[in-house]
Structures are given as C-alpha cells and as structure tokens.
Amino acid sequence: MLKSISSLACLTVVSGLGPSQNTTHPFWLDNAEYQTFRSTPELPKEVDHLVIGAGGAGVSTSFQLTTKYKKNVLLLDARGVCGGASGRNSGGVGAGIDWVGSVKQYGEEFAKKLLKDSTDKFQEFIDMNQAADCKNCWIRVGGSASFYNSPANLNSDAQGVIAQQAAGLGANISVWNSTETSLRSKSQFFAGATYSTYAGNVWGAKYVFTLTRKALATGLLNLQTQTLVTSVTKHESGNWQVITNRGTVLTKKVVFATNAYTKDILSEGSWITPVRGQIVMTEKNEKLWDFDTGMDLGDVYMHQQPTGEVLLGGMRKVTKSGQMGTTDDSQIDPTVHGALSALVPEFFPSTNGIPIWRSWTGIMGFSKDYKPLVGELPDKPNAYIVAGFTGGGIQAGYTFGKATADIIATGSPPAYWQTLSRYYDQFLATRIKGKF
C-alpha cells in the first residue's frame, strides 16, 4: 500500500553526511507532496535498479526507467522529493550558449550543434511539462531579459549577439537600448539589455511531483523518503551494496543523482563543489514584467510570480567565500540577504516599501568545468552518475536524467549523445583523474 510516514519521522543524522537536518523552508515546498512518503514500510533487500536522490535528475531517471523501459526502480532520498536544490531554485529555464566562447573552443560548426541541442532540449522540457498536464506548475515562456548597469558589459553581450546573428542564428535575441530598457524594465538605471524569447519559468517542484506521480502509477517505482544513504560498496555477489540509516539494499545497478552531496558517498564527487544559493521573495506588488530577468550586479536573477510576488536570487559573491564549499541550507547569510533585499527598491523604485516576505537557501552542485557529470563511472560497472548541474538543474536534471535512463536500459548512449561527446564526456575518464 502506498502511504506516508508520520511527520515526526525524520532522517537519522550521520555526522558529515547528507543534507542538513534542519533547513530553511522555500515557498515552493509549502504543503508539498512526497516529503514523508514511503511506498512500503520497509526497504527491499534486493533490487535491480536503485537511484539515490529524488530531485529533478533522480526523478527524471526513475520516470524514464519505469514508464519507458518498464524497469523496477527503488528511489531513495534523505529528505523528501525535491527537498534539495530542485525545490529551492528560481525555476528559470531557457536555451542558449556562450556563442563567442564556444566558437573559440570548438569551432563554429560544433558551436551551431551545441546551440541547436540547447534549443531542442528547452523545447522538449516545455513540451514535456505541457504533455504531462502539470497542474498549477505556472509554466510560462515569456522570454528573459539581461539588464546591464555597465555599458561595457552590455557592449560585450551585444557583440556576442551580433556574432551569433552573423552566423545565421540568434533570430530570437534582440538588443535593447537604454530607452527601450527603461520602458520595459520600469527602471532608469540600466544602459541597455539583451532579450531572448527562448526562456521561461516553471514551478520546478510541482513538475517533479507530476513525474513522481506518473512513475508511481506504473507500480514499478518504490519511493522511500527520509532515507539517508551512508555508503555504497561492492558486495561479494558482484552487486552494489547500498547502506542506509534504515538498512542495507543490494542492487544490480545504482545511480548517483546526488548533486552537491555526491562527495559524501562517492570519490568522484570531489569533482563537484557545493555552493549555497539564496533567494528572497517580496510580498505581492503591481505587475512589473512578464519575462524573467537578470542583472550584471552580483549575478542576480529574478522574476515576478503570476500572483505578484517578486523573487530574486544571487549576490553570493558579496561574501568572501562566495558561499562555496558549504552544504548547510539551514542558515540565511545576512550579508547576502541584505544585498538582495536592497536591490529591488534601489533599481525598481515602484517596489519601494514592499516588504520581503520569504527567504531561503539551497545547495547547488558546481562541477569543475561547469559541465554535468553524466554516464557510467570509469572502473565502476553498473554505477552511474547524473550530477553537477552548476545552477541549471531544473531543466538539465530532466534532460540528463532521461539520457541516463537511456544509457542504463540500452547499454549505449542515445544517438544525440555523440554530437555532444566533446562537450559532455559520458565516460568521464579524462575529467576525473586518479579518483577511481
């Protein structure tokens, strides 16, 4: 029988392992589903497929394995579904690459393939959400504007747009001068902006809950929340032995969808640095924009909810650490909070006097080269990783979770993977040296 455990039940704390026991509470998880859910009272002793981490990537992998490939899956999480970064981000999604940088590194023809793949994956994500009939997911494709306070930063971005359009691409991107930016942003403080129509926003946790619900409906998914994995080792049977705070499970195949927490249970996790992001949300305000926005002041990103609240994050670099190296999302950094809280009324005077309503933190996983780690691990047959999304996990988690399921079920990467092999090395061997 599918049921939830008592709200009093929580993970057993193991020093140095897993997420914080206590945490700030994001708006996205108010009255959330699947936070104390367990498909069965006890863990099974043996399974064919075990996925660690029930965020966007872990749920996407499990969803594809159960619905497309009809595989049985055990899905574990130390918290609940979307208890980590997937339930704490801004929800921004979009398409695009660093055109100038990609051309310099890979050449124009391969850069074109990367841009096409990025655009295809964005559209696939939007189509998936619409087809899944995600209730109240607030899916919006209103584009995204990058506001520039610095004329030099604006010029640099604009030159990239010009170069992309000279290659016959980028018709979806436009450059706004200061007059148009003032009109559209409702602010007089910006030198200009670039705007892309290939961007939007989604209530990430609700889309992940929708995939969870559909996977559970197959009868092939066993979801166990509040279950902390403390170690994964090779068993004498040849299977993987997954030890948790509730018992041990043997599995033929294991997936590490653990993002910022990967280093706790996998040596290759040293390639991923935990980084704490912080978000504030104002009370309801008059309509400012119907598109997502970013600013060149502290890597700020923001949007206005359909219900009127303004949500913004970033500014982590106002601290000496840049909020890097911590997995503690139980704390609000006062310096970051102050910078974010002051930014909206300073640059958007119409918001002056609108108080901050909510604030929370979440832990992202940044890979060393800012590209995800995806695929079967070197020298670890039947062990897979899908992690290291460097702040873009709500969309990338679905994309690369799907790819991971394809690799597991078919034994080979999907056709499009070969196009990306120079960009996302599924074998990882050249990227994780001496960590096998």
Question: Is the pLDDT confidence value at 368 over 60?
Answer: yes
pLDDT at position 117: 87
Indicate if the pLDDT at residue 206 is higher than 80: yes
**Residues 138-168: pLDDT tens digits?**
888 999 999 999 999 999 999 999 999 999 9
User: Which two tokens mark 416?
Assistant: 């499009």
**pLDDT value for 429:** 52
Please report which confidence band the pLDDT of residue 212 belongs to, taking 50, 70 and 90 as the band edges: very high
The confidence band for 13, taking pLDDT boundaries of 50, 70 and 90, is: very low
Looking at 75-176, list the stretches that DSSP marks H as alpha helix, in order from N- to C-terminal side: 99-106, 108-131, 151-166
pLDDT at 57: 96
- Give the DSSP per-residue string, 246-287: TEEEEEEEEEE--GGGGGGT-GGGGGEEEEEEEEEEEEE---
* 131, burial (CB in 10 Å: exposed 0-12, middle 13-18, buried 19+): exposed
Sort 290 into a burial class: Cβ within 10 Å, 0-12 / 13-18 / 19+: exposed
**218 φ, ψ to 5°?**
-70, -20
Phi, psi of 258 (to 5 degrees): -110, -5
Examine the pLDDT at 268 and tell me if it is beyond 90. Answer: no
With 0-12 / 13-18 / 19 or more C-beta atoms within 10 angstroms meaning exposed / middle / buried, residue 73 is buried
Q: Find the largest Cα–Cα distance for the chain.
A: 69
Q: What is the pLDDT of residues 167-194, one digit of tens each?
A: 999 999 999 999 999 999 999 999 999 9
Average the pLDDT over each of 151-165, 201-215, 245-259, 344-358 and give the range with the smallest value: 344-358
Do 107 and 54 touch, CB atoms closer than 8 A?
no
pLDDT of residue 420: 54
Read off the pLDDT of each residue in 340-350 and give the average, rounded to a whole number.
Answer: 89
Tell me which of 15 and 207 has the higher pLDDT.
Answer: 207
- Summarize pLDDT for 88-121 with one digit per residue, the tens: 999 999 999 999 998 998 899 988 988 998 899 8
Burial degree of 334 (CB within 10 A; 0-12, 13-18, 19+) = exposed
